[in-house]
Amino acid sequence: MILLAALDGLAYGSLIFLVAVGLSLIFGVLGVLNIAHGSFYAIGAYVAASAVLAAAGMGLPTWLAFPLFLISAILVGVVVGGTVEALLLRRVYRKEEVLQLLVTFAVFMILEDAQKVIFGTQPLFANAPMNWLGTIEVFGIFYTNYQLVLIPLVALAVLVGLRTFLRRTSFGRAIVAVTQDREAAMAMGIDATRVYLITFIIGASLAALGGALSSSTTSLTPGIGSGMIVLSFAVAATAGLGRIEGAAVAALMIGLGRSAAVYFAPEFDVLIPYLIMVVVLLIKPEGLFTTLQTRKV
């Protein structure tokens, strides 16, 4: 039973990480706590599910769903995320934090209504990619390879890729420079506005990728973004806002904790993620990891 709970927690934590790491990246670089991040997750899920269903309707092979997931995530990040950053957030970077929160909350509400107008209110489910990958038996219990193998591997690839990008590429080092000292970076010729835009697009794309992957595992209904953004905030706060590798640790902690509750105390499964966050913040108010990860790259 403990092993089964651990496997479920790994899959769940990996999915949360994909969304939370985008939130942490945006906060670490732009200094904005983006409430609209949950909408990027939801729109990514809807766009991916719609694309998969459309491809199936045209008789295209099921494996095409996986590149469609990536394309959908990038499309949402560039179009929706880029538009939000360029038209709205760029105007409030120097404003008070409460104004930033109000703006991102307003964007969240607008995007929630937009989802209902575009995709409707009926549940949407596209599970063909999950079924196509088959199942694996673990101690007599069958798990889908999609949840047990694919999602954790994608999360690991994102973690390694993001760290490599920030450490080894010139643009990644530009992101770090802007994070540490925006004025000094601009004096050295770095375009901070471009850095902010691309960072926001990357963060939004990661949230949309999490949504795209979840579209095969759950029925999509209006409001799915609100639940995920709360969980993402819990992960980011537990790790320490702005931490990247810390988000992976916190997501795994919360995923395992929630999974254990489902198996052994199901009445507490909703409470456990926030209980973990509260306990951590009572002991370490700044989170498990005290310094912004991007500032140490």
The whole-angstrom distance between residue 9's C-alpha and the CA centroid of its chain comes to: 16
Q: What is the pLDDT of residue 36?
A: 93
> Quick count: other Cβ atoms within 10 Å of Cβ 164?
11
- In this predicted model, what pLDDT tens digit does every residue of 188-237 receive, in sequence order? 888 889 999 999 999 999 999 999 999 998 889 988 998 899 889 889 88
Examine residue 291 and state whether it is found in any structural domain, yes or no.
no
Examine residue 289 and state whether it is found in any structural domain, yes or no.
no
- In this predicted model, what pLDDT tens digit does every residue of 53-75 receive, in sequence order? 999 999 899 999 999 999 999 99
pLDDT at residue 293 tops 60 = no
Q: What is the pLDDT of residue 58?
A: 92
Give the number of domains in the chain.
1
CATH of residue 69's domain is 1.10.3470
Examine residue 143 and state whether it is found in any structural domain, yes or no.
yes
Residue corresponding to tokens 């038209």: 87
Report the range of poorest mean pLDDT among 48-62, 117-131, 283-297: 283-297
Examine residue 293 and state whether it is found in any structural domain, yes or no.
no
Query: Residues of the chain with pLDDT > 90: what percent?
Result: 47
Q: Domain limits at 202?
A: 2-283
Examine residue 208 and state whether it is found in any structural domain, yes or no.
yes
Examine residue 255 and state whether it is found in any structural domain, yes or no.
yes
Examine residue 59 and state whether it is found in any structural domain, yes or no.
yes
Cβ atoms of 199 and 169 within 8 Å: the answer is no
pTM for the full predicted model: 0.91
Examine residue 122 and state whether it is found in any structural domain, yes or no.
yes
